[in-house]
Chain A
Amino acid sequence: MVKVQRIMLDILKPHSPNGLEFSIQLAEKCSGCRFNFKVLEVDEKTETVIIIVESESIPYDDVFDAITSMGGSIHSIDEVDVIGVDNSESLSTQTND
Chain B
Amino acid sequence: MIKQFQLLFSISRSNLIARRYFVVNGFDGALTMLGLLMGFYVSNDDVVLHMVITACMSAAIALSVSGISSAYISESAEKKQELKELEGAMIADLQDSAYGQAARFMPFIIAVVNGLAPLIFALIIMTPLWLAQCQPELITYPIETSVVVAFILIFFLGVFIGNISNSFWLWAGVRALLIALITSLFIFLISLI
Task: Using CB atoms and an 8 Å cutoff, list the residues of chain A in contact with chain B.
Answer: 12, 14, 16-17, 21, 25, 28, 43-46, 68-71, 73
Contacts and interface: CB of A to CB of B under 8 A. Distances in A.
Interface string B49-90: 000000000000000000000000000000000000110011
Given A46-B89, A70-B98, A73-B90, A14 B3 contact: no
A53 to B, nearest CB: 19
A43 B90 CA distance: 11
Nearest to B83: A71
Nearest to A45: B89
Contacts of A68: 96-97
B187 interface: no
Interface residues of B, number: 16
A43 B7 contact: no
Given A12-B90, A44-B89, A46-B89, A71 B97 contact: yes
Contacts of B98: 69-71
Interface string B80-108: 00000110011110101111000000000
Contact of B94 (A16, A43, A71): A71
A16 B10 contact: yes
Contact of B86 (A25, A28, A70, A71): A71
Nearest to A12: B90
Contacts of B92: 73
A14 B10 contact: no
Contacts of A44: 89
Nearest to A14: B86
B10 A17 contact: yes
26 contacts: A12-B90, A14-B86, A14-B89, A14-B99, A16-B10, A16-B11, A16-B13, A21-B10, A25-B7, A43-B89, A44-B89, A45-B85, A45-B89, A45-B90, A46-B86, A46-B89, A69-B96, A69-B97, A70-B7, A70-B97, A70-B98, A71-B11, A71-B90, A71-B94, A73-B90, A73-B92
B47 to A, nearest CB: 52
A74 to B, nearest CB: 10
Given A14-B90, A69-B98, A73-B90, 15 more contacts: A14-B86, A16-B10, A16-B11, A17-B7, A21-B10, A28-B3, A43-B89, A46-B90, A70-B7, A70-B98, A71-B11, A71-B90, A71-B94, A71-B97, A71-B99
A37 to B, nearest CB: 16
A71 B13 CA distance: 15
A47 to B, nearest CB: 10
A25 B7 CA distance: 9
